[in-house]
Structure 1
């Protein structure tokens, strides 16, 4: 089986899943090639067997003209079983190639359908996205296939390395520092909880603003900025509670990663978590933007170890049943075998 991928993402949860899926498919004998942005920090995590072509596919660039021609020629040469574009922008590169299934994979809500003129089917990672594209007028195929993450548990990092007391409650979150992730709100929520430490992993344009919020609230001594980490699992394993405060989150890969390490999760009632989380069963849900609500939910888990253990166990069970590598990889393999 041969699959071509187009992926112009940066460095975040969607990229981690791309790496996970490409590796899972390689383990199952799928021959793959991929067009990605140059200098991606996760390129080295892709299997050596995957052929890589680098391009930004920017407007007003020579690649904007030449890359579609190269891709179409390569598709004619190798005759793939499937061509897979990751997100709307990559879907603009989809060639009008016959004889294979052409898939656009969506991890967010598209604004219009013009990107997908050459796509046979849209793979949405939540039912909400699938419903959205149908409402926009999409009449071709739609499938819901979610993400998976590594389920192996790892040893925690030493808290002392990050100047954090061994007995202090530690709240963690991670992702790109952009406004919708609401790390400033989470910082304000933790500031209301004396003695609680906050670990934030990631990079992005909002980082300096979050640091300023921590300084203005007088909690710089309790907030640790961990930077981008290739493997976040040891940091999640060292925390007591994981919080996902985003005001918009189509799925929430980081929640799956926290569940894999057996951590109890507090999440906003954003799109993805509202689909697969059940309040008080596999996590605690808080209204979007409710700083006090996040403070109260964190405090509940700190003060009630029985509840914390219950929601952590419920999260792990949901992960294994609904988001396993075997189930997701097999769903994609079945899809690749279809003919348009």
Structure 2
């Protein structure tokens, strides 16, 4: 089986899942080619299992005109079983090729459908996204196939590496530092919890603002910015509680990653978590943008060891039942066999 991917993302949860799926399909013997941006930090994680073509596909670059011609030529020459674009912008690369199924995978809510003029099937990673594209007027195929993550348990990093005492309560979160990720709310929540420390993994346009907030609240001794990490699992494993504070989150890959390390999770009541989380069973749900709600949920887990253990075990069970590699990769394999 042969698949061509078009992926022009940068760094984040969608890119981590792309790496997971490419490797899972390679383990199933799928021959793959991927068009990606140059100099991606995660390129090394698919190098060797996938042929890689680098392109910016920017409006003012020659690739804006040449790359669509190149991918059409490649499709005609290679005759793949499936073409797969990742998100909206790469879907503009989808050639009008008639020889195989053409799939656009969506991890967020598109605002319009004209990106997908050459797409046969939209794969949505939550039912809500599927409902949304139908409401926009999509009349072709829709499939809901969610994400999976690496479920290997990893030993925790030494807290001393981050200048954090071993015996303090530790909260962890990660993602791109943009407003919708809600990290400002989490910092406010931690400020109201004396003695609680926070690790934030990631980077982005809001970093300077977050650092200023930490200083203004007198939290420099309790908050650590640990940057982007190729492997966040040792850091998640070192925490007592994982928090996902986004105001908008179509799925929430980071929750799956925390569950894989058997960590109790506090999440905002955003779109994805409201689909697969049950308050008190596999995590605790807090009100979007309300620091007091997050602080109360974090404190509950820190104070109640039995509850913390119960929701961590419930999260791991949800991960294995609903988001396993075998189920997700198998669903894509079946989709690749379809005819246009």
| TM-score of the aligned structures, taking structure 2 as reference length | 0.99
Q: 1:280 and 2:285 equivalent?
A: no
Match of 2:294 in 1: 294
Match of 1:138 in 2: 138
Shift of 1:60: 2.2
User: Post-superposition, which runs of at least 4 consecutive aligned residues in structure 1 deviate over 6 A?
Assistant: none
Separation in 2, partners of 1:182, 1:56: 29
Separation in 1, partners of 2:152, 2:96: 40
Equivalences for 1:47-196 in 2 at 5 Å? 47-196=47-196
Separation in 1, partners of 2:46, 2:213: 37
Match of 2:267 in 1: 267
Equivalences for 1:236-275 in 2 at 5 Å? 236-275=236-275
Separation in 1, partners of 2:165, 2:39: 37
Task: Determine if contact 1:33/1:52 at 8 Å carries over to the other structure.
Answer: yes
> Secondary structure of 1:220's partner?
coil
Task: Determine if contact 2:23/2:49 at 8 Å carries over to the other structure.
Answer: no
Task: Determine if contact 1:245/1:267 at 8 Å carries over to the other structure.
Answer: yes
> Secondary structure of 2:221's partner?
helix
Q: Number of residue pairs matched? A: 340
> Secondary structure of 1:221's partner?
coil
Task: Determine if contact 1:58/1:64 at 8 Å carries over to the other structure.
Answer: yes
> Secondary structure of 2:148's partner?
coil
Separation in 2, partners of 1:305, 1:49: 43
Shift of 1:182: 1.1
Separation in 1, partners of 2:114, 2:163: 50
Structure 1: segments with no counterpart, 5+ residues:
none
Shift of 1:47: 4.0
Task: Determine if contact 1:3/1:31 at 8 Å carries over to the other structure.
Answer: yes
Per-residue Cα deviation, 1:125-158 (whole angstroms, up to 9, x for no partner): 0000000000000000000000000001010000
Separation in 2, partners of 1:242, 1:274: 17
Shift of 1:165: 1.1
Structure 2: segments with no counterpart, 5+ residues:
none
Match of 1:228 in 2: 228
